[in-house]
Amino acid sequence: MTSNLLDYDLEGLAAFCEGLGEKRFRATQLFRWIHQKGATGFDQMTDLAKSLREKLPASAHIQSLKVVSRHDSADGTIKWLFDVGAGDVIETVFIPESDRGTLCISSQAGCAVGCRFCSTGHQGFSRNLTTAEIIGQLWFAEHFLRTHLGRDERVVSNVVMMGMGEPLQNYSQLLPALRVMLDDHAYGLSRRRVTVSTSGVVPMMDRLAQDCPVALAVSLHAPDDELRSNLVPLNRKYPIDDLLQACSRYQLAAPRDFITFEYCMLDGVNDQPEHAHQLVALMRKHSNEGLSCKFNLIPFNPFPASGLKRSGMPQVMAFAKILMDAGMVTTVRKTRGDDIDAACGQLAGDVQDRTGVQKRIASQRQGMLKGIKVVSKEVGV
């Protein structure tokens, strides 16, 4: 069996080259061909020695992901479903804006965390994605979009790990993928343009701070442990105080950054003025530890199994005002790609419902809005 070169960061590729008896600098050449030029065949790599080009196919290949379908929204959002085998399907979403192009990437097929408001969580967990499957989403989207949009220069300017899955529960495969995103010989994204979103896997937040302190978004969704444990079951293991202390430690590794807190607005559940005041008190308490933050208030996309409803806009704006009056940077998000069910888990759930019952659910508008994956515009705040 040959190695998929999308599985390697530059260091891994250098070790692979050394294993073939080649100099390490060959890895840099290969890396550029694969990630910057989108090459899939070694015969395209004209500056590699002919002997190496002839040797590589016996031990290596470059394999991205198999597209199941592509969905283009009227607002320019594009969503792909990729087949990762054994009936598992993952989602990747490109969200164009005037000043950036954001790609939302999945890290797992399904998710084990089981947040109440998340369609992916309701589908259950299947497996971790490999590094090749994680970076393959960026590889595919970047090179597809350059051709599709007729552009020579980079199209994806930001990556958010906010698709299906909890990235920090797939750390060993995530880390090399992040390193490829940041590598100047590959995508050359700055640390602040790559965001990992977590539901709060505290020990792995500490690891990420040391290994690769990219931007961090935390799915908070509640101001107290009782409510958060109900919405985000992982809170029972890592309660809010532990989580916010980990956020403060994270900022030691990225001192000029802030932590983004995602807050999905659920009607009558977590959207009352007292919840906003509790959040203000919570953040004030932890600001003494050096925590600086901003809030994204996210509209919920209802789906029947959740038993939850979207908060009305007056409620959302009143909530935002309390946070802003307390000096917190707060953004109210708006959905993108509504016409293509671009919210997390919607289309994959259409292909396979991992609760065991095959059923068509896209028509039921399943799913949630997860962070900035399917949102982008500020509305009136």
Interacting residue ranges for ligand SF4, rule: CB under 6 A? 111, 113-115, 118, 120-121, 164-166, 199, 219, 370
DSSP state of 122: H
**Residue 21 Cβ vs ligand SF4, minimum distance, rounded to whole Å:** 43
Query: Which residue out of 91, 133, 142, 262 is catalytically annotated?
Result: 91
Q: Which H, E and C letters describe 210-225, residue by residue?
A: HHCCCEEEEECCCCCH
User: What burial letters (b/e) apply to 114-124, b meaning 16+ CB within 10 Å?
Assistant: bbbbbbbbbbe
* CA 187 – CA 216 distance, rounded (Å): 19
**Residue 4 Cβ vs ligand SF4, minimum distance, rounded to whole Å:** 25
Say whether 91 is catalytic.
yes
- Residue nearest ligand SF4 by beta-carbon distance: 121
**Residue 300 Cβ vs ligand SF4, minimum distance, rounded to whole Å:** 11
**β-strand 194-198 against 215-219: which pairing, if any?**
parallel
Question: Phi first, then psi: what are they for 115, rounded to 5°?
Answer: -65, 140
Say whether 344 is catalytic.
yes
**Residue 50 Cβ vs ligand SF4, minimum distance, rounded to whole Å:** 46
**How many residues are given for the chain?**
381
Does residue 127 contact residue 166 with C-beta atoms inside 8 Å? Answer: no
* CA 333 – CA 75 distance, rounded (Å): 15
Taking the least distance from each CB to ligand SF4, the nearer of 28 and 123 is 123
Taking the least distance from each CB to ligand SF4, the nearer of 113 and 208 is 113
Fill in the amino acid letter for 311: S
Taking the least distance from each CB to ligand SF4, the nearer of 96 and 121 is 121
Taking the least distance from each CB to ligand SF4, the nearer of 121 and 299 is 121
Active site residues: 91, 344
